Amino acid sequence: MHLHVMSDFNEALEVLEIDESFYNLINSDKAVSTTIEAIADIEV
């Protein structure tokens, strides 16, 4: 496990290599969460 301590939100986004618009999307009602078991049941 790696632990990063950032001094502000923008620095955290840089470490995660995402921009603020993507963070806002995954932190919104449009984001979908699921379980690993549900993903395993999906046929490709």
pLDDT in tens, 1-44: 888 888 999 999 998 899 999 899 888 888 777 666 766 666 66
Q: What is the pLDDT of residue 10?
A: 92
CA pair distance 43, 34, nearest whole angstrom: 15
Q: What is the pLDDT of residue 13?
A: 92
This prediction's pTM: 0.52
Other CB atoms within 10 A of residue 2 CB: 4
CA pair distance 15, 37, nearest whole angstrom: 29
Q: What is the pLDDT of residue 4?
A: 82
Single-letter residue type at 10: N
Single-letter residue type at 44: V
